[in-house]
């Protein structure tokens, strides 16, 4: 089955990092399609008025500066396509859209992701301070805050994407992250996955509540693979294998250090040079308190690493 990824780009070095990331991870693979999507911010009519204007009508009333940005972005798109084809990705696997903003950059990206039914949204994070991003906001922070209904890949810096660190704590949302990963990486010859558990996550090894998984993966599969003494490793591994990921590229790592799970995850990614961290995220209806959830804190502190967030 072909995967569809929406790639938000803006011509910045951070967009180039995102393009290099997918180019390296999916080079020469044919079962994936990328839609490059660029939004040019505009001033003038409010969102309600813009909704009824065509692209040509908007172009005629925007400032010369906005027009120049639109032209520059369309030119950049051709360079972006050249970057991806340089990794052996066919032009037939790439489409692109450059449009003027209607509801704001973040909201336009969110709408496009939902309308297009993409398997994931990829965004490159700008190099602003993490506290500045938390309190002042950014496109990536806004999208992450508003969207729990599709996976989001956040690329911070230029990283080697092939080594995946996947924390697993026996919960359904962590399993959903592995399900997404197994679909995206099916038959990928470049990637390797390390399933990770630390006592910092939940203390003693947690007990999987098998019934919680029945609705998604079925009773038969869950009873067979999530009821064993080693299910914390075996279940996720089997899910990866069932979706076509090679068993000899799946590893297990357990540590007994640290008290804060988010710091422990980042520490491990740094020590073993993992380029991508994959995290499940609890639903938006769950109260995470003032200190936020593990995935939020990992994103806040992450540098020079890609983080996939799966709701």
- pLDDT tens digits for 230-278? 999 999 999 999 999 999 999 999 887 667 788 889 999 999 999 999 9
Instruction: Clarify whether residues 31 and 63 are in a common domain.
Output: yes
Tell me the C-alpha distance between 167 and 172, whole Å. 13
CB-neighbour burial class of residue 197 (10 A; exposed 0-12, middle 13-18, buried 19+) = buried
Q: How many domains would you assign to the chain? A: 2
The pLDDT assigned to 262 comes to 86
Cβ contact 190:27 at 8 Å:
yes
- Could you tell me the pLDDT band of residue 131, with boundaries at 50, 70 and 90? very low
pLDDT digits (tens, 9 = 90+) for 105-130: 899 999 999 999 999 999 987 644 44
Last residue of a domain, one of 98, 125, 156: 156
Residue 167 reports pLDDT greater than 50: yes
Residue 64 reports pLDDT greater than 70: yes
Strands 192-198 and 163-167: parallel
| Mean pLDDT of the region 6-30 | 94
Instruction: Clarify whether residues 18 and 128 are in a common domain.
Output: yes
Instruction: Clarify whether residues 203 and 257 are in a common domain.
Output: yes
Half-sphere exposure of 71 (CA within 13 A, CB side): 8
The pLDDT assigned to 54 comes to 66
Place of tokens 């919960």: 171
The pLDDT assigned to 49 comes to 52
pLDDT digits (tens, 9 = 90+) for 35-62: 999 998 876 555 555 565 666 666 666 7
- Could you tell me the pLDDT band of residue 21, with boundaries at 50, 70 and 90? very high
The pLDDT assigned to 209 comes to 92
Last residue of a domain, one of 135, 156, 177: 156
- Could you tell me the pLDDT band of residue 92, with boundaries at 50, 70 and 90? very high
Place of tokens 């000899």: 248
Is the model more confident about 64 or about 168? 168
The pLDDT assigned to 147 comes to 85
The pLDDT assigned to 289 comes to 38
The pLDDT assigned to 204 comes to 53
Mean pLDDT of the chain: 86
CATH number at residue 84: 3.40.50.620
Last residue of a domain, one of 112, 140, 156: 156
User: pTM of the predicted model, to two decimals?
Assistant: 0.89
The pLDDT assigned to 283 comes to 65
Instruction: Clarify whether residues 124 and 21 are in a common domain.
Output: yes
Instruction: Clarify whether residues 67 and 177 are in a common domain.
Output: no
- Could you tell me the pLDDT band of residue 101, with boundaries at 50, 70 and 90? confident
Residue 100 reports pLDDT greater than 80: yes
The pLDDT assigned to 44 comes to 58
Instruction: Clarify whether residues 123 and 54 are in a common domain.
Output: yes
Domain coverage including residue 125: 3-156
The token duo for 84 is 């991806």
| Mean pLDDT of the region 279-284 | 80
């Amino acid at each position: 089955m072909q995967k569809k990824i929406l790639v938000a780009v803006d011509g910045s070095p951070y967009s180039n990092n995102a393009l290099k990331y997918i180019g390296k991870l999916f080079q020469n693979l044919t079962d994936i399609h990328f839609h490059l999507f660029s939004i040019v911010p505009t001033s003038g009519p409010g969102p309600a008025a813009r909704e009824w204007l065509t692209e040509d009508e908007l172009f005629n009333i925007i400032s010369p500066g906005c027009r120049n940005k639109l032209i520059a972005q369309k030119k950049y798109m051709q360079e972006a396509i050249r970057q991806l084809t340089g990794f052996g990705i066919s032009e037939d696997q790439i489409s692109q859209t450059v449009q003027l903003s209607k509801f704001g950059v973040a909201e336009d990206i969110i709408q496009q992701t939902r309308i297009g039914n993409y398997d994931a949204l990829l965004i490159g994070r700008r190099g602003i301070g993490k506290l500045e991003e938390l309190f002042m906001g950014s496109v990536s922070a806004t999208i992450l805050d508003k969207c729990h209904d599709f996976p989001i890949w956040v690329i911070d810096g230029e990283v080697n994407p092939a080594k995946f660190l996947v924390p697993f704590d026996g919960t359904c949302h962590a399993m959903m992250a592995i399900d997404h990963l197994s679909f995206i990486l099916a038959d990928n010859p470049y990637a390797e996955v390390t399933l990770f558990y630390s006592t910092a996550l939940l203390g003693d090894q947690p007990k999987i509540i098998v019934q919680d998984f029945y609705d998604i993966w079925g009773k038969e599969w869950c009873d067979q693979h999530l009821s064993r003494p080693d299910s914390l490793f075996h279940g996720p591994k089997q899910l990866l294998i069932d979706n076509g990921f090679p068993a000899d590229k799946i590893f297990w790592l357990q540590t007994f250090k640290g008290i804060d799970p988010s710091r422990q995850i980042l520490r491990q990614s740094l020590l073993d040079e993992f380029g991508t961290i994959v995290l499940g995220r609890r639903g938006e209806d769950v109260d995470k308190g003032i200190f936020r959830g593990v995935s939020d804190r990992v994103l806040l502190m992450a540098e020079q690493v890609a983080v996939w967030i799966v709701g």
